[in-house]
């Protein structure tokens, strides 16, 4: 029997999450100085559901004048916010965390509606981790002398923060929580395709009675982000594509302003012969198909030791047949919608290049919805290091599989990339895990797991994956200036 015949697929009854808890406005303004205001640009754009292509709301598009207004509000609020005792700032940050928990279902549903990710991921990963980051950094706000013993930590001032569309709420928490805890004020620019949870967060900030101007949120596309980079802010924190990150670094070079970049990745997930194979299969599936592969640290390159290649491949094909692709708001869904038409086109183009360059494609049988942006879970075998699908970040549910014979070869192949964000190692030998971790040029190395995050653990990359760390004690450093 082939791999498909060995699997008896389960039949799942629809289990849709209700959207009644979400109260969408017809039109959203910019959040500046504690209030929602109309954009001086006079422009609005429509944000949609990628699963249905139906419009959700009209969103203000901030122009340079609007960005300047938000930055001015942040500067005006900076003095009083910095002067607050750390314990007082902690109360606000803690309050935000609690409100996120209280409204967690609302945030989870909205995240899936606007972003396309399965509700079980929004509910069980994104929202709880966002709240956890605010809780964690609330604890640091009055303990900075212990974070940096022997030195005085002062806030850098106003932080301009630009976040991507793959984890809208979580990325906002990664940026805002350490900045607020250390006494900075912020101007946040969410991605143009997923602004709604950031705007709902603005309502939470109002409910938490955060002083006006401490956090400002300006929505828009690339021009809005470029205006924020050029504005008189003291720091830029950017998470997004390597291409845009390079342009930001060039723009800020020589200005003396602070900068952190968390960019693309092409992570290697490395499976040795002695690995727990069934556990590794689940880790590989989670590593690449979580959030439709819209993850900068996704394990998009699978390196398998040759003796177990055929076994692992058969199990992966079997497992792909069980993945449920469809409505993000269905609690049974494993793989939701691709975030946008533009991203779907990018994925399709790279997959086509893999076929044209001679790799062998495998996709499970599944019926895709007629409307929306969808792509089947995909894996490629017969991949070499020269294939585009092995070199370029696809940012979709596409896995490239290569083989190796020795640990040294695995390290060489894993590091043969311009990126250096993450890696995974699957083996029964602890000594081998340590040996590999010392040699893999990646900011995060997971051992017998993948895509596990904790607010106390730093995250960031090397090479074209950027510099600086978010999370943990290390996540405080980009937002402070240290003096003896």
User: Could you list the active site residues?
Assistant: 262, 296
Residues whose CB falls within 8 Å of the CB of residue 338, separated by 6 or more in sequence, listed in order? 50, 116, 292, 294, 344, 347, 373, 374, 375, 396
Cβ proximity of 51 and 336 under 8 Å:
yes
Strands, E assignment, 49-118: 55-61
Per-position b or e across 58-92, b if 16+ CB within 10 A of its CB? ebbbbbbebbbbbbbbbbebbeebeebebeebbbb
d(CA 214, CA 237): 16
d(CA 408, CA 414): 10
d(CA 249, CA 238): 10
d(CA 450, CA 223): 35
Beta bridge partners of 47: 57
Per-position b or e across 383-396, b if 16+ CB within 10 A of its CB? beeebbbbebbbbb
Q: How far is CA 443 from CA 96, 166, 458, in A?
A: 29, 20, 9
């Amino acid at each position: 029997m082939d791999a498909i015949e060995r699997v008896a697929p389960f039949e799942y009854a629809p289990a849709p999450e209700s959207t009644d808890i979400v109260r969408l406005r017809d039109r959203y303004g910019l959040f500046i100085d504690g209030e929602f205001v109309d954009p001086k640009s006079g422009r609005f754009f429509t944000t949609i559901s990628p699963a249905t292509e139906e419009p959700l709301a009209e969103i203000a598009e901030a122009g340079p004048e609007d960005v300047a207004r938000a930055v001015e509000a942040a500067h005006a609020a900076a003095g009083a916010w910095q002067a607050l005792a750390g314990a007082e700032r902690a109360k606000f940050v803690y309050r935000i965390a609690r409100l996120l928990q209280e409204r967690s279902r609302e945030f989870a549903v909205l995240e899936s509606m606007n972003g396309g990710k399965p509700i079980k991921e929004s509910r069980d990963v994104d929202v709880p981790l966002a709240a956890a980051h605010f809780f964690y950094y609330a604890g640091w706000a009055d303990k900075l002398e212990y974070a940096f013993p022997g030195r005085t930590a002062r806030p850098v001032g106003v932080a301009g923060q630009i976040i991507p569309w793959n984890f809208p709420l979580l990325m906002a928490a990664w940026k805002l929580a350490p900045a607020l805890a250390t006494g900075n004020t912020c101007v946040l620019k969410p991605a143009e395709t997923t602004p709604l949870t950031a705007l709902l967060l603005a309502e939470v900030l109002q409910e938490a009675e955060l002083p006006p101007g401490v956090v400002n949120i300006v929505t828009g596309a690339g021009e809005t982000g470029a205006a924020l980079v050029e504005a008189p802010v003291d720091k830029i924190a950017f998470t997004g594509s390597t291409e845009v990150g390079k342009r930001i670094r060039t723009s800020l070079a020589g200005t003396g302003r602070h900068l952190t970049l968390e960019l693309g990745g092409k992570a290697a997930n490395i499976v040795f012969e002695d690995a727990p194979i069934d556990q590794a299969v689940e880790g590989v599936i989670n590593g690449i198909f979580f959030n439709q592969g819209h993850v900068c640290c996704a394990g998009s390159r699978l390196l398998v030791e040759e003796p177990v290649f055929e076994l692992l491949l058969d199990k992966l094909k079997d497992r792909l047949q069980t993945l449920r692709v469809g409505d993000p708001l269905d609690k049974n869904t494993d793989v939701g919608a691709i975030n946008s038409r533009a991203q779907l086109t990018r994925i399709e183009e790279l997959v086509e290049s893999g076929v044209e360059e001679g790799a062998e494609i495998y996709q499970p049988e599944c019926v895709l919805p007629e409307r929306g942006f969808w792509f089947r879970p995909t894996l490629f075998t017969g991949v070499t290091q020269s294939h585009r699908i092995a070199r370029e970040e696809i940012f979709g549910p596409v896995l490239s599989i290569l083989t190796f014979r020795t640990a040294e070869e695995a390290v060489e192949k894993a590091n043969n990339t311009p990126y250096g964000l993450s890696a995974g190692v699957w083996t029964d030998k602890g000594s081998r895990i340590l040996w590999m971790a010392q040699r893999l040029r990646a900011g995060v190395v997971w051992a017998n797991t993948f895509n596990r995050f904790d607010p106390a653990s730093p995250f960031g990359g090397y090479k074209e994956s950027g510099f600086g760390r978010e999370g943990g004690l290390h996540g405080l450093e980009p937002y402070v200036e240290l003096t003896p």
